Amino acid sequence: MLNTQIYPNTLAQWCDNYLQANEFNDYCPNGLQVDANTPIRKIITGVTATQNVIDAAIAEKADAILVHHGYFWKGEPAPLTGMKGKRIRSLLQNNISLLAYHLPLDAHPIVGNNAILAQQLDLEIIGALYPHEKHPVGNIAQCEPIAITDFITKVSDKLQRIPTHISAGNKQITQVGICSGGAQDMIEQAATMGCQLYISGEISERTTHTARELGIDYLACGHHATEKGGIQALGTLIEQSLGLKVRFIDDPNPA
């Protein structure tokens, strides 16, 4: 593909195909969300298409932004005004296209957020949290027996962030439920599937009760922190496969 001009549609088709994006029922459109219709040489990746990420892309003279959290979520107001209006104005005035992949990038077995998170934490994915799912968004993983305190140290090291721990009294773990982002409510399914620990990004008030009452420990490791891996892995793959310049911009977020 080197020396050929790659337009946003072509890049989106390549990503759609690799991530099997059309096989997901999602809360947002996956693929090309804003088409500036200019050839792509440089891509900025990020977890979320924030104004900071857009400003970085403008400064870097990038032609496209590729993120996990794009725009046009189900139920949000349609008008391109306010914060959303400014973001889209910034993109189009600077000829920058936007591509976004949500669930397909959580679930992918190689570059997916869960796959990368499992790898970072020395967990081996052995199945789906919901066994009927064709492309599981949440997984079950196993590990060598490890004290939960040691596992928390590992999470803190690898994600550069201390997780919030809700203890249900498990001292040692071998089976872990795992789903990046805002998937705290899948904790019940993780308990049903026999995990001693469930890890996700966020925590709600109710998560604490569920953990304690179902006897499953919980680690809230950060929505942003658990979803930095997938988009970077996809970016590296695009760089290698399509010969485009790709740079990850971290717009830090404690949540």
- List interacting residues with Zn ion (CB under 5 A): 181, 227
Where in the chain does DSSP place strands (E)?
31-34, 42-48, 64-69, 97-100, 124-128, 139-147, 164-166, 172-178, 197-200, 217-220, 245-248
Question: Alpha carbon 92 to chain centroid distance?
Answer: 25
Of residues 179 and 242, the one with the C-beta less far from Zn ion: 179
Of residues 29 and 39, the one with the C-beta less far from Zn ion: 29
Of residues 27 and 160, the one with the C-beta less far from Zn ion: 27
217 close to 196: Cβ distance less than 8 angstroms: yes
DSSP-derived letter for residue 22 is: G
Of residues 13 and 52, the one with the C-beta less far from Zn ion: 52
For the chain, the first-to-last Cα distance in angstroms comes to: 39
143 close to 173: Cβ distance less than 8 angstroms: yes
CB-nearest residue to Zn ion? 181
176 close to 197: Cβ distance less than 8 angstroms: yes
Of residues 28 and 92, the one with the C-beta less far from Zn ion: 28
In the complex, the smallest distance separating the C-beta of residue 47 from Zn ion, rounded to whole angstroms, is 7
- SS3 of residue 190 by DSSP: helix
Candidates 195, 227, 6, 196; CA nearest to 107 is 227
Of residues 201 and 242, the one with the C-beta less far from Zn ion: 201
In the complex, the smallest distance separating the C-beta of residue 253 from Zn ion, rounded to whole angstroms, is 11
In the complex, the smallest distance separating the C-beta of residue 223 from Zn ion, rounded to whole angstroms, is 6
In the complex, the smallest distance separating the C-beta of residue 9 from Zn ion, rounded to whole angstroms, is 25
In the complex, the smallest distance separating the C-beta of residue 221 from Zn ion, rounded to whole angstroms, is 12
In the complex, the smallest distance separating the C-beta of residue 137 from Zn ion, rounded to whole angstroms, is 11
Candidates 57, 50, 20, 43; CA nearest to 99 is 43
